[in-house]
Amino acid sequence: MRASELFGKTLRETPSDVDVASHSLLIRGGFIRVVSAGVYSWLPLGRAVLHRIEGIVREEMESSGAQEILMPALMPKELLSSTGRWEGFGAELYRLKDASGRDLFLGPTHEELVTSLASSDLNSYRDLPLVVFQIQWKFRYAARPRGGLLRAREFPMKDAYSFDADEEGMRRSYEKMVSAYQRVFERCQIDVRMIEADPGVMGGGMNQEFVLPSADGETDFVECENCGYTANLEISGMEGKPCPNCGGKPATRRGIELGHIFQLGTKYSEVMEAEFLDRTGKSTPYQMGCYGLGISRMVAALVDSYHDELGIKWPRALAPFEVVVLLVSQDSLAMRAAQKLYEELENKGVSAVIDDRDVTAGVKFADADLIGYPIQVIFGKEFLNGRIELRTRSTNDSALAAPSVKSVREALASCL
Say if residue 292 is in the same domain as residue 340. Answer: no
Final residue belonging to a domain, choices 238, 271, 305: 305
**pLDDT digit string (tens) for 266-291?**
999 999 999 999 999 999 999 999 99
Say if residue 289 is in the same domain as residue 327. Answer: no
Band the pLDDT of 146: cuts 50, 70, 90: confident
Q: Mean pLDDT, the chain, as a whole number?
A: 95
CATH number for the domain harbouring residue 184: 3.30.930.10
Residue 416 has pLDDT above 90, yes or no: no
Final residue belonging to a domain, choices 277, 305, 333: 305
Strands 230-232 and 219-223: antiparallel
Say if residue 230 is in the same domain as residue 155. Answer: yes
Say if residue 296 is in the same domain as residue 331. Answer: no
Contact 95, 105 (CB under 8 A): yes
Say if residue 253 is in the same domain as residue 185. Answer: yes
Residue 25 has pLDDT above 80, yes or no: yes
Q: What is the pLDDT of residue 228?
A: 87
**Which amino acid does the sequence have at 48?**
A
Q: What is the pLDDT of residue 351?
A: 97
Confirm whether 23 is domain-assigned.
no
Q: What is the pLDDT of residue 200?
A: 73
Structural domain containing residue 349: 323-413
State the pTM of this model: 0.94
Confirm whether 312 is domain-assigned.
no
Q: How many domains in the chain?
A: 2
Confirm whether 26 is domain-assigned.
no
Say if residue 332 is in the same domain as residue 186. Answer: no
Residue 205 has pLDDT above 80, yes or no: no
Confirm whether 398 is domain-assigned.
yes
**pLDDT digit string (tens) for 230-268?**
999 888 788 888 998 899 989 999 999 999 999 999 999
Say if residue 152 is in the same domain as residue 215. Answer: yes
Residue 30 has pLDDT above 90, yes or no: yes
CATH number for the domain harbouring residue 339: 3.40.50.800
**pLDDT digit string (tens) for 336-362?**
999 999 999 999 999 999 999 999 999
Confirm whether 2 is domain-assigned.
no
One-character DSSP codes across 310-332? S-B---TTT-S-SEEEEE----H
Confirm whether 113 is domain-assigned.
yes
Q: What is the largest CA-CA distance in the chain?
A: 82
Say if residue 252 is in the same domain as residue 298. Answer: yes
Say if residue 231 is in the same domain as residue 360. Answer: no
**Which amino acid does the sequence have at 234?**
E
Say if residue 66 is in the same domain as residue 183. Answer: yes
One-character DSSP codes across 173-209? HHHHHHHHHHHHHHHTT---EEEE---GGG--S-EEE
Say if residue 110 is in the same domain as residue 213. Answer: yes
**pLDDT digit string (tens) for 74-83?**
999 999 999 9
**pLDDT digit string (tens) for 119-145?**
999 999 999 999 999 999 999 999 989
Say if residue 197 is in the same domain as residue 332. Answer: no
For residues 90-106, give the mean pLDDT: 97
Confirm whether 331 is domain-assigned.
yes
Confirm whether 227 is domain-assigned.
yes
Band the pLDDT of 113: cuts 50, 70, 90: very high
Q: What is the pLDDT of residue 262?
A: 96
**pLDDT digit string (tens) for 34-64?**
999 999 999 999 999 999 999 999 999 999 9
